[in-house]
A and B are shown apart, each in its own frame.
Chain A
Amino acid sequence: MSQFTITIDGREVEAKAGQTILEAAEEAGIYIPRLCHKPGLEPFGGCRVCTVTANGRPCSACTQPAAPGMIVMNETEQVKDFRKTLVEMMFVEGNHFCMFCEKSGNCELQAMGYRMGIDVPRFPFLFPKRNVDASHPDILVDHNRCILCARCIRTSRDVDGKQVFDFVGRGANKRVAVRSGTRLADSDADVSDAAVEACPVGALLKKRVGYATPIGERLYDKAPIGSEIENGEES
């Protein structure tokens, strides 16, 4: 049973025992949208943007193990609208000013908006009050843009072996905090940490390197996020 078949949108796909739906799909050149998932990190299952149905039930493809004969639906109108709704909610519940963000063009949230054809979110903008922590000499934290994917937390803990960040608060008050104090400057965060590169949005940025790539040549200017998987390129 180490190798078996599942179907994704009716197409037969080979899967190995221990693989998630998302991994099996990716090997077959099928892109399932994702934001909190990052190769090299344990699956987290936080953002739900990778939602598919498996044997009729919604689940997160980044955490759900593939099983023999599993019938996965990835591109139904219902699934696509569910994901689009989630991404729209991320846009209204933070303060995402793309027009001056250093991450614009290389941002995975923005790229998801483009790929899903979001011209404007269907929900009212909340304009929450969020803080900026510019205390660290080389790293900027802008909570206005954070989507709570925990990639920084997990990367710092599991890759850098440092535990610089953690979540505090619940529900709408949940946010990323610095474990060792109130400011990033009080932590042992370093600009060479993998965690600094892990953020999908512009919430965690290296200082003094913004806007280096001209408009038109940035990561998602020409082709949608995920097309490297669909075209079978190494990402």
Chain B
Amino acid sequence: MAKPRIATTSLCGCFGCHMSLLDIDERILQLAELVDFDRSPIDDIKHISQRCRIGLIEGGCANEENVEVIREFRRNCDILVSVGDCATTGGLPALRNLVPLKECLEEAYIHGPSVHNPSGEIPNDEEIPLLLNKVYPAHEVVKVDYHLPGCPPSADALWAAINALLAEEPLELPYQLIKYD
């Protein structure tokens, strides 16, 4: 029987949640026994190739590309999990939600004290994904089945969650593994 497939992505995140996943240490060998990795920064596969059992979403949605990716994950994954505070709440990048987008861009490219930008233009190439008006948590863009808060969630929390989902058991983490920081 084919192994269940798992896909992971980092949207508007810092890869910290992926580092936490690698932090399961030698259990990564067990994980490789249990699942095949599909699209993920870990194997650099760029698009989901087959139906996946689990999709792990790190990061919220800050631009139109993030939205495309999360929709690809929703279409192709049986279970979608928001991993980390950025996916569950917007996280640190959502600090920009307190400032209008125009002001953010002007500070970054025009008025910032360390900006050197003689043209005075804000980058607007069609190759660059357009920013959304604000940063959205994953579940405000697509339906998300489970949420693992934490900045990042600990390796033990990720390991426990992946195992529970693969075994089709209810995801009930012990008190010590649910953290918002």
Does B98 interact with chain A (Cβ within 8 Å)?
Answer: yes
Q: Is the CB of B175 within 8 A of A105?
A: no
Does B147 interact with chain A (Cβ within 8 Å)?
Answer: yes
Does A125 interact with chain B (Cβ within 8 Å)?
Answer: yes
Q: Is the CB of A117 within 8 A of B85?
A: no
Does B149 interact with chain A (Cβ within 8 Å)?
Answer: yes
Give complex CA distance A222, B179 in Å. 11
Interchain Cβ contacts within 8 Å, total number: 59
Q: Which residue of A lies closest to B148 (CB)?
A: A119
Q: Is the CB of A104 within 8 A of B175?
A: no
Binary contact readout B144-177 vs A (1 if CB under 8 angstroms, 0 otherwise): 0011110100000000000000000000000110
Give complex CA distance A130, B148 in Å. 27
Q: Which residue of B lies closest to A109 (CB)?
A: B180
Residues in B with CB closer than 8 Å to A33 are none
Give complex CA distance A125, B61 in Å. 14
Does B69 interact with chain A (Cβ within 8 Å)?
Answer: no
Q: Is the CB of B180 within 8 A of A113?
A: yes
Q: Is the CB of A222 within 8 A of B134?
A: no
Q: Is the CB of A119 within 8 A of B98?
A: no
Instruction: Report the stretch among B26-34, B49-57, B87-95 that lies at the interface.
Output: B87-95
Residues in A with CB closer than 8 Å to B175 are 114, 222-224
Interface size class of A (residues with CB under 8 A): 20 to 34
Instruction: Report the stretch among A13-21, A40-48, A79-87, A94-102 that lies at the interface.
Output: A94-102
Residues in A with CB closer than 8 Å to B132 are none
Q: Is the CB of B88 within 8 A of A99?
A: no
Interface residue count on the B side (C-beta < 8 Å): 26
Q: Which residue of B lies closest to A121 (CB)?
A: B89
A124 touching B140 in the complex, CB below 8 Å, given contacts A221-B176, A222-B176: yes
Residues in B with CB closer than 8 Å to A208 are none
Q: Is the CB of B95 within 8 A of A97?
A: yes
Residues in B with CB closer than 8 Å to A224 are 175
Does A120 interact with chain B (Cβ within 8 Å)?
Answer: yes
Q: Which residue of A lies closest to B180 (CB)?
A: A98
Which residues of chain B in 74-131 are interfacial with respect to chain A, using CB atoms and an 8 Å cutoff? 82, 85, 88-92, 94-95, 97-98
Q: Which residue of A lies closest to B100 (CB)?
A: A129
Residues in A with CB closer than 8 Å to B92 are 97, 99-100
Q: Is the CB of B134 within 8 A of A127?
A: yes
Does A155 interact with chain B (Cβ within 8 Å)?
Answer: no
Does B25 interact with chain A (Cβ within 8 Å)?
Answer: no
Among A101, A104, A120, A129, which residue has its beta carbon within 8 angstroms of that of B89?
Answer: A120
Instruction: Report which A residues bind B (CB closer than 8 A).
Output: 95, 97-101, 104-105, 110, 113-114, 117, 119-120, 124-125, 127, 129, 215, 221-224
Interface pairs A-B: 8 shortest CB-CB: A99-B151, A98-B180, A119-B147, A127-B97, A104-B181, A120-B147, A98-B181, A120-B88
